[in-house]
Structure 1
Amino acid sequence: MTHQVLVPLVTPISAEGDVCRASVARLVRSLRHGVDGFIVCLTSGEGWLLNERQWRAMLEATLEQAGSLPVVAGIERATTDAVLAYAQQAQQSGVAGIMLTSPFGSLVDQAAILTHYREVHDGIDLDIHIYNESSLSGNETSVDTLLAIAALPRVVGIKDSAEEPRSPQQINALQAHGLKYYLGWERHLGAGLPADGCVVSLANLEPALCRIAMMSEGDALRAEVARLTGIYSLLSEDWYAHIKQELFDRGVIASPHAVGH
């Protein structure tokens, strides 16, 4: 099995609120020889906080620097109509696909989640990746609903950040329905799960370790991932700000400014 490392990039922002294209260039160049692609404007990229201008600028800046590596556009918007509006822009930009959450709200049921993905799928021609999480959307997609979404022809992958860990059997079932299965939590790295790759915040800083942790397993490896998770404060509510601070300290980005601060 090929194990891919896709980086959910942070979004370098100036104090004035503009995407720093020079910082994006340095960040992508620092990563591109050790990873398999980039996903912009996901939660690590403060996607739900970016305005349309910032979202588009981050997408364009990453596409300019990615070379032959695929770029997937993350879309974190509350409603199907809003997601479709961004997806249509993404389609015009030349991205390899989009990744989206379910609609926002704790009362969103499984039928509404399936309808959401179906309407987005039918409204564009791009490949679609599921982002299964609950911290932003306020809901989580069940395995049965994920399998129904996977039946849509151009749904090709999933970043799974479910609160409860998947069993190997559940992962295999999703893969049997045509999905590439990407781990969404650092704590699952090195656990020997039958995943196709990972999409974790740590890849912004330690892509080589993420690669090793997808190819190997063991207590020492998991302990190192846990140690760095603590050092970089990846479990804090503003983990993306801590990643930016580390990248700033390394001289990769020009400012540690976070969109929400």
Structure 2
Amino acid sequence: MFTGLSAFPLTPTDETGIDERAFRKLVERLAAAGVDSIGALGSTGGYAYLTREQRSRAARIAVDAAGGIPVMIGIGALRTSDVLALAEDAQNAGASAVLLAPVSYQQLTDDEVFGLYEDVTAQLSVPLCVYDNPGTTHFHFSDELHGRIAALPNVGAVKIPGIPADRAATRIAALRSQLPDGVALGVSGDQLAAGGLNAGADLWFSVIGGLLPEECLAITRAAAQGDAARAVELSERMEPLWELFGRCGSLRVTSAAAEHLGLVGTPNLPRPLRGLPAEARREVAAALDALGVRA
């Protein structure tokens, strides 16, 4: 399942819980668009703000609504025991894979992170994707540590931060040399994804793909067909969104975009997170209108 476009939908949430109807609709849109996989309860899905019960329920909704499209479920948590419980819930829900970042309050050592993945992969019956997200976890993987973890049983992919286009080929080749055969390498950082795909990444783990799957599939397919210039051109058309991502945060921009398209209500982010101010919302609306995006 670790090829092409993996789209990560918002989990619309307020202080009373998840808007299950809206969440189902978001996942169904992705399935209808034909994304290669769906990443539920990732960072865009707000996994860290939800209870185990809410996450279990969301996982079941995502798998059901995906209509056969493979679903990867985020299982990150502070304690290994909680990660193992979430992994069990995800597998019971029918997940095709799980996504795990080394979430922590205390700064983790390399041995502690390796131990986390060692403990979790030993209990899995589905593939695991290593989530390298230093901007959130404040943990920086070395290539050597990636290689050690990727050699564990049931590791199927590594998700790395975006790479500037002029360094993408070198970075991907260097990391791939540390990974066992059969472990996929995927990029995130939507604004840099075209360069990563053109440089040989196996897949794009996309925030905005969870809301605008057709536009992101076009970029992904162009890169897969060897049309690097077209992939870059399509990505550059989305530059107003990329600029907003950098300035306001991808989650808040995606939240505002989903509201503008009438796909979710307001509020849809768990406190203390807040939606964008009015001026930024107008910029999001203008960016979507320029792309011709409709719900």
Unaligned ranges ≥5, structure 1 = none
Does 1:249 pair with 2:249? no
**More deviation, 134-143/97-106:** 97-106
For the residue of structure 2 that corresponds to 1:44, the secondary structure is: coil
Match of residue 128 from structure 1: 128
Match of residue 218 from structure 2: 212
How far, CA to CA, are the matches of 1:153 and 1:133 in structure 2? 22
How far, CA to CA, are the matches of 1:207 and 1:170 in structure 2? 30
How far, CA to CA, are the matches of 1:100 and 1:174 in structure 2? 19
Match of residue 206 from structure 2: 200
Question: Over aligned residues, Cα RMSD in angstroms?
Answer: 2.3
Match of residue 177 from structure 1: 181
Contact 1:4 1:36 in 2 (8 A): yes
Scaled by the length of structure 2, the TM-score of the pair is 0.79
How far, CA to CA, are the matches of 2:86 and 2:28 in structure 1? 26
Does 1:102 pair with 2:94? no
Deviation at 1:29, TM superposition (A): 2.1
Higher relative CO (Cα under 8 Å, sequence separation at least 6) belongs to 1
Match of residue 193 from structure 2: 189
Unaligned ranges ≥5, structure 2 = 274-295
Match of residue 45 from structure 2: 45
How far, CA to CA, are the matches of 2:6 and 2:156 in structure 1? 14
Deviation at 1:234, TM superposition (A): 1.9
Q: 1:208 to 1:170 in 2, by over 3 A?
A: farther
Contact 2:150 2:179 in 1 (8 A): no
Counterpart mapping for 1:122-161 below 5 A: 122-161=122-161
Q: 1:135 to 1:79 in 2, by over 3 A?
A: farther
How far, CA to CA, are the matches of 1:16 and 1:137 in structure 2? 24
Deviation at 1:68, TM superposition (A): 0.8
**More deviation, 64-73/22-31:** 22-31
CA deviation digits over 1:149-182, x for unaligned, max 9? 1111210012112688651312432564321111
**More deviation, 210-219/106-115:** 210-219
More helix by share: 2
Match of residue 29 from structure 1: 28
Count of matched residue positions in the alignment of Structure 1 and Structure 2? 257
Percent identity between the aligned chains? 19
Match of residue 228 from structure 1: 241
How far, CA to CA, are the matches of 1:16 and 1:83 in structure 2? 24
Contact 2:15 2:270 in 1 (8 A): no
For the residue of structure 2 that corresponds to 1:190, the secondary structure is: helix
Scaled by the length of structure 1, the TM-score of the pair is 0.89
Deviation at 1:123, TM superposition (A): 2.3
Deviation at 1:241, TM superposition (A): 2.7
Larger radius of gyration: 2
Contact 2:18 2:54 in 1 (8 A): yes
